[in-house]
Structure 1
């Protein structure tokens, strides 16, 4: 079962200071996970975790990860700007983008970020927009179906990301002719896997490709980015990945395939946004209404604006009634206030007896939670609170106000 990282007494004190709803992050847990990831891949001297900023784009969180020797992976110029302002150096910033605007490539070049090109056609686009850097990476999409044994994990052929093998090989050759000197390989073949076999299997495919690139093109890669894909178990079973076993699995394949080919110098990179943060975030919300019709509805002060995944993907997020954790179970739908019937955090859910005023914790909101927020119905994005290692709590992003919502409008004076 899922256990909150905050006690009932701690949360009572926090909600007395900060009105719900809000996202609460566990600093201690974030640091422990970052250290575990770095330890799992410490066998590789050049290893670097490039945290996917899109998962949790908050400067305080990014500073914590930088202190734990992580880099960042950015997808837009705004994420690049935030990372640069936080203090990440050029070697600590990766830029993986698709359908990219020329000014975004230009800014990535300006701050020295490592550019990972999504399409073969982007080579000419980048050259025109900002010039070809000495260090560049290409994103591979093998097509077909990605499976582990008999289990189909994802369908790369349906993905808009990456380039074919033929395009990849031609791309390296073109880039070398245009002056590039340092090359990387990147691939993302499955999302949110809960298995210790995904990374070693992916690594095996990419390591074979690295050997082929050396043999056919005479180009030795300097780094291979395994991207994301290692997920978390959102279910109440809470059977999480073993990052130490995953790291050792990649190590084994590295020694088997790359070292004999004279490629033991290759650095391994990862982009573990979800794994790094999801379980270290709670969406904290209070019950506003209880409604009885054909079902029992628990109406809370949060909605899909604050956590979109259940509405968008029908994703499961465990819920704890921290006010009455041991009450008799009732079958309920936990819902928000939006004028959309999919604004539900849970459907036909077994929740301890819940009354108006109770505090609920929606688990695993630390990644792709606040960051996917929006303003439908004029609902405003919530605050973000950090539970510090010393047990204190501080606001790291205030809640939006109506003034924020109206601030970009022309012809509307909020103060009149």
Structure 2
């Protein structure tokens, strides 16, 4: 049942969010560089809470207060993920607005980022499709009401049975490798009417002479010559509708990424028309548009990005008789990351050569800081107005020294029981969790637009953890005797 906040709890007004102070160095060890400015102070007499038009450079916004979070923990113990429905919907609408110039535009949400049915249904209501890369993601999409070409199946090293299931659903199949073409024909006894090929241009992918990534080292996609030959084979095999797809860089914080990628794909589309006699039906820009994990970073402007793609579209496709090509995207991080947080409680302190603050979450709940050295901002709920006067390593309980959400992080003085709001965990957060050290998966909750909170995935139990061991007689007896 949805959990009401109760009378007297402050709720966010539309467009209004709570503020949070920040820190110095990140999990990855990066400090403010010489050219980066520290946060400016507000004008004398203007408090943090009263001046909504002013925002510190070392702050990130939250979508709950300490009082709201404590209320939730009465029903759902920490740690848990909390998603913001209002933020998700607003962001989906901004994306749709950014590409409203293209009548056939569709966002195919990357299910891998946040595979939860409640999230998928929200995005479906906002007009999104799903980008799937496995059987389970296809099945979840079908269960949530996605049908036919509302689903894009982009996989690699793909079991043949998954092609069959995708074809049964009527999903658009995006082939990763040239050899998949004949493999698919043999598996399905022919080609579907619509097919997409994944492109890898090789070399270095640059934006304004800055190297963003190295596609030639990526395992994904086909060369340009393979793409052209592939389309000739598909055309001869009866395919009627064609598309191309490419993913060349991850988590770019630059309004120029999509327009730069679009220029490459649109140019290829013209060559496909000239060399193969094929007019592409759609071009999938995939993902790669990132978010500002650090408060001092300038976030992407999706409206500017959409207009940038529009200009390149008119310049290349429009002038070459391809002004009816549909544009697709496959965003995951951009769609969900800012609208999900890991809520965890401080439970322990340790003083040795450093100051450690232990929390009840660990890398098994959010692995990005431990594995990638990724930065996730931390707000101490209820202490948003306090300065970051103390330096902490914020750590979990895994038997691994990299189980750290933050290293040398400047935070307000912490106390046992403090609730931490770990930002930007709405994508590739819960989804990348694991059971190492016997840690159980935490719950996922949704803050709905009316302010209530809904459980959208229960926390894992010991019985869940041991479920696949029920073939072992000792484990089965133990589970039964302990009512697991």
Q: Smaller-chain TM-score range?
A: over 0.9
Deviation track 1:57-101 (CA, whole Å, cap 9, x = no partner) reads 000000000000011100001000000010011121000000000
Task: Find the counterpart in structure 2 of residue 71 from structure 1.
Answer: 129
- Counterpart CA distance in 1 for 2:110 and 2:135 is 14
- Is 1:340 the counterpart of 2:400? The answer is yes
- Counterpart CA distance in 2 for 1:344 and 1:129 is 46
Of 92, 98, 112, the residue aligned with 2:150 is 92
TM-score (norm: length of structure 1):
0.99
- Counterpart CA distance in 1 for 2:298 and 2:345 is 28
- Is 1:101 the counterpart of 2:101? The answer is no
**What displacement does 1:329 show?**
1.6
Specify the SS of the correspondent of 2:274: helix
- Is 1:210 the counterpart of 2:272? The answer is no
- Is 1:41 the counterpart of 2:106? The answer is no
User: Hey, which bits of structure 1, 4+ residues long, moved more than 3 A?
Assistant: none
CA contact (8 A) 2:388 2:410 kept: no
- Counterpart CA distance in 2 for 1:108 and 1:346 is 41
TM-score (norm: length of structure 2):
0.85
Which of structures 1 and 2 has the bigger CA Rg? 2
**What displacement does 1:150 show?**
2.4
Task: Find the counterpart in structure 2 of residue 143 from structure 1.
Answer: 202
Task: Find the counterpart in structure 2 of residue 162 from structure 1.
Answer: 221
- Is 1:349 the counterpart of 2:409? The answer is yes
Q: Give the CA RMSD over aligned residues.
A: 0.9
Deviation track 1:128-153 (CA, whole Å, cap 9, x = no partner) reads 22242110000000011001112110
CA contact (8 A) 1:324 1:354 kept: no
- Is 1:3 the counterpart of 2:61? The answer is yes
Of 432, 448, 454, the residue aligned with 1:372 is 432
Deviation track 1:263-290 (CA, whole Å, cap 9, x = no partner) reads 0010000011110000000100001101
Question: Which structure features the higher share of strand residues?
Answer: 1
- Please, which runs of 5 or more residues in structure 1 have no aligned partner? none
CA contact (8 A) 2:65 2:382 kept: no
Q: How does 1:9-408 map to 2 (within 5 A)?
A: 9-131=67-189, 132-325=191-384, 326=386, 329-408=389-468
- Counterpart CA distance in 1 for 2:389 and 2:380 is 11
- Counterpart CA distance in 2 for 1:48 and 1:203 is 15
- Counterpart CA distance in 1 for 2:388 and 2:257 is 40
**What displacement does 1:246 show?**
0.3
- Please, which runs of 5 or more residues in structure 2 have no aligned partner? 1-58
